[in-house]
Amino acid sequence: MDQASIEAELIRRIALKERDAFDELYSRYSRPLFSYTYNFLKDRMMAEEVLQDVFVKIWRTAGTYKPALSRPFSWAVLVTKRLCIDRLRRLKPETVVEDPSIYHHPEDAGSGERSPSETVVMNDEIGRLRAMLEKLPQAQKDSLSLAMSKGMTQQEISVELNIPLGTVKTAMRRGMQRLKQLMAHSYE
């Protein structure tokens, strides 16, 4: 049996609430997931809290894991990434993106305090996001692009696109849901 099969079996057993399977998965994944979380959040205490949330989520949602869709560790990383993003969103609820101007000039993305490797990763992520945006219906794409690139509010987008505010809200909500699905598949 290969490692992925063993880990998939552990997750199956965790779904049945077998504590020893959980302990085994924790011993396999805690270090690499902590490293990932710490690198993502850049704060040790926050990383520890998120890691705890990750394993609680794994315990609670192990029954939703589908081996045909991703390898066990990839699934755990996706759970981790989502929780890291959720934590960052709670810290910065007032903005959609850290620096909306980077969507205009990705070559300038490294002009701040980012290292060259962070700039490469960010430019790659921006490219993926742009490709995903292109897959959305026009109203969703336009609304989300204005919000992300210009930091416009829904009311401002309604005026800019000359469409009702309710339509903008619906387009943005549906667009974000679709982007979430696309991102989930992109990172598996």
Give exposure, 99-109, as e/b (b: 16+ Cβ within 10 Å). ebebbeebeeb
Q: Which domain holds residue 138?
A: 100-186
Q: Give CA–CA dist 44/47, Å, rounded.
A: 5
Residues 51 and 117 in one domain: no
- Is 50 exceeded by the pLDDT of residue 110? no
119-155, pLDDT tens digit by residue?
Answer: 777 777 777 778 888 888 888 888 888 888 888 899 9
Residue 106 pLDDT grade (very low, low, confident, very high; cuts 50, 70, 90): very low
Top pLDDT among 16 and 186 is at 16
Cβ-contact 109, 64 below 8 angstroms: no
> Where a domain ends, among 91, 108, 139?
91
Residues 61 and 14 in one domain: yes
> Where a domain ends, among 70, 91, 112?
91
Cβ-contact 45, 89 below 8 angstroms: no
Give exposure, 28-65, as e/b (b: 16+ Cβ within 10 Å). bbeeebbebbbebbeeeebbeebbebbbeebeeebeeb
pLDDT given at position 101:
47
Report how many domains make up the chain: 2
CATH number at 172 reads 1.10.10.10
Question: What's the average model confidence in pLDDT over 151-172?
Answer: 88
> pTM of whole model > 0.85?
no
> Where a domain ends, among 61, 91, 121?
91
